[in-house]
């Protein structure tokens, strides 16, 4: 019934204006062709995106590896690890050397007979222990954290600076005045 109606409508349009019929027919064919073409295009884009995701993951990993290879912005790769100019500037801003001298004076008996690498390991553990949230902070540690925050020093950079300053303070105390 519907097809009969359509056939009748087509015949009526063709008799009155055949150009209009072919124009409408061309428009319908163009729209259908566009839909088919668009669906093929989107499937190709989806396929390319599926290939692109692993590529971007690999690039992201490579960039992270590069940043790791660059090292810390506050230390130099020397033996032993030392603060670079930026690290020394931050250390002065937060008073890390003064803090380290006070801690070293209090804890000297713990590390008196240790090797420098053992002292460094002790300092890493000591500084990490300062940042445990359940430990009550002493006033000087609060001040160091506040100054580090204001100077824009990350927690990792802060622990590196404090560790190196503490290690150096211990070694100076063990060796005595130069």
Question: pLDDT tens digit string along 104-137?
Answer: 988 888 888 888 889 999 999 988 887 775 555 5
The verdict on 95 and 39 lying in the same domain is no
- CA pair distance 171, 60, nearest whole angstrom: 41
Q: Specify the residue for token string 């930026």.
A: 86
Percent of the chain clearing pLDDT 90 (strictly above)? 11
Q: How many domains does the chain have?
A: 2
Cβ proximity of 100 and 166 under 8 Å: yes
For residue 77, what are the contacts with CB-CB under 8 A and spacing of at least 6? Answer: 71
Domain of residue 133 covers 75-175
The verdict on 109 and 154 lying in the same domain is yes
- CA pair distance 144, 164, nearest whole angstrom: 15
The verdict on 40 and 62 lying in the same domain is yes
């Amino acid at each position: 019934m519907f097809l009969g109606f359509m056939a009748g409508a087509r015949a009526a349009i063709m008799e009155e204006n055949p150009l209009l019929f072919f124009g409408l027919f061309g428009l319908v064919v163009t729209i259908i062709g566009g839909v088919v073409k668009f669906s093929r295009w989107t499937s190709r884009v989806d396929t390319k995106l599926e290939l692109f995701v692993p590529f971007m993951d690999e690039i992201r990993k490579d960039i992270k590896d590069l940043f790791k290879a660059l090292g810390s912005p506050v230390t130099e790769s020397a033996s032993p690890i030392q603060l670079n100019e930026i690290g020394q500037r931050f250390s002065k801003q937060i008073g890390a050397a003064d803090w380290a001298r006070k801690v070293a004076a209090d804890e000297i008996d713990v590390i008196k007979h240790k090797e420098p690498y053992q002292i460094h390991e002790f300092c890493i553990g000591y500084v990490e222990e300062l940042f445990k949230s359940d430990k009550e902070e002493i006033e000087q540690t609060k001040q160091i954290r506040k100054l580090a925050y204001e100077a824009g020093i990350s927690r990792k950079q802060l622990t590196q600076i404090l560790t190196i300053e503490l290690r150096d303070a211990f070694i100076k105390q063990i060796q005595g005045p130069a």
